[in-house]
Structure 1
Amino acid sequence: MAIATTSARDTNLEAQQRLGELLTARDIDSLDEIFATDVVDHDPAPGQPDGVAGIKEFWTTFLSAFPDATMTPQVVSADDEHVTVVLDVEGTHTGEFQGIAPSGKRIKVRGIQVGRFADGKLVERWGATDEAGILTQIGAA
């Protein structure tokens, strides 16, 4: 009798999907489920602390500025170590963002994230979102 096994790729994709679920639910406290405590963020926001604490701070700040934000994956690619996601980010600027008072304006920008996983946890991330596009759309640039 064959025993079903889950590949590292499948485990990583499941973790990436769970990350999306946590962000959709605004369950920032549970991001420890996905990110290693000492995750290395190669593209942190200005002043962002290291590790999962910094990831949580980023999302708390971003979702305060854009509380209705949605992140819609457009392309997902994975191997046994990495998951890459190209996504559309949309939301309404109703909270302070990078010192900019709420404008009430809607944004829609593209982002990309590459995550390296080990034992089902995100241990390194690289990413970029069209920050210039955000600033332009909220009237700050």
Structure 2
Amino acid sequence: MGQAREVLDRMTETAVGMHDVDAAVDLYSDDAVIMTPDAGKVTGHDNIAEYWHQFIDAFPDGKYEHIMKLESDSTAVDEGYFVGTNTGDMKTPTGETIPATGKKVRLRSCDIATVKDGKITEHHVYFDESEFMRQMGLSPQ
């Protein structure tokens, strides 16, 4: 196992498994960038922490189920499902608050992380926003 795989595994376990967003953010470089379908480009530790908190805090029982793990050179890729129950309010990237719905979601996702010197420098997060909203009961079936 290479460094990229090790760091992405630690980030996923720390943020999603242990719900310790602040420790997970320490795995990102100071100039790290996350690209997301909902918030777009997120940079800087404070903004990265805010992005992860809005999601992790809304699903306190959340976990990640891996389907596939890949690694090539300095890049690690995860494909899997985020599974959790929305029991906490969720702040959207636009600043709105979505009250907890009590709905359980099983959302397929893909993460691609580039690692340099033991830190994530670039992280692309992919998931279907429409499917997420449908499972949350916030859009038509």
TM-score where L is the length of structure 2: 0.84
Give, in whole Å, the separation in 2 of the partners of 1:93 and 1:48: 24
Cα 1:49/1:43, change in 2 over 3 Å: closer
Aligned: 1:59 with 2:57: no
The runs of 5 or more residues in structure 1 that have no matched partner are 1-8
Question: Is the contact between residue 94 and residue 103 of structure 1 (CA under 8 Å) also seen in structure 2?
Answer: yes
Q: Which runs of 4+ in 1 moved over 4 A?
A: none
* CA deviation profile, 1:28-52 (whole Å, cap 9, x unmatched): 1212442111101233643875222
CA-based RMSD of the aligned residues comes to: 1.9
The structural deviation recorded for 1:27 is 1.5
Give, in whole Å, the separation in 2 of the partners of 1:43 and 1:58: 10
Question: Is the contact between residue 33 and residue 44 of structure 2 (CA under 8 Å) also seen in structure 1?
Answer: yes
Cα 1:65/1:74, change in 2 over 3 Å: same
More strand by share: 2
Give, in whole Å, the separation in 2 of the partners of 1:85 and 1:74: 8
More helix by share: 1
Aligned: 1:10 with 2:2: yes
The runs of 5 or more residues in structure 2 that have no matched partner are none
Aligned length: 133
Cα 1:96/1:56, change in 2 over 3 Å: same
- 1:134 matched residue in structure 2: 132
What SS does the aligned partner of 1:74 have?
Answer: strand
Give, in whole Å, the separation in 1 of the partners of 2:27 and 2:64: 17
Question: Is the contact between residue 34 and residue 41 of structure 2 (CA under 8 Å) also seen in structure 1?
Answer: no
> Which amino acid in structure 2 is aligned with residue 31 of structure 1?
A
Cα 1:41/1:57, change in 2 over 3 Å: same
Structure with larger Rg? 1
* CA deviation profile, 1:50-83 (whole Å, cap 9, x unmatched): 2222221111111221111111121111011111
Question: Is the contact between residue 34 and residue 42 of structure 2 (CA under 8 Å) also seen in structure 1?
Answer: no
Aligned: 1:20 with 2:18: no
Aligned: 1:91 with 2:84: yes
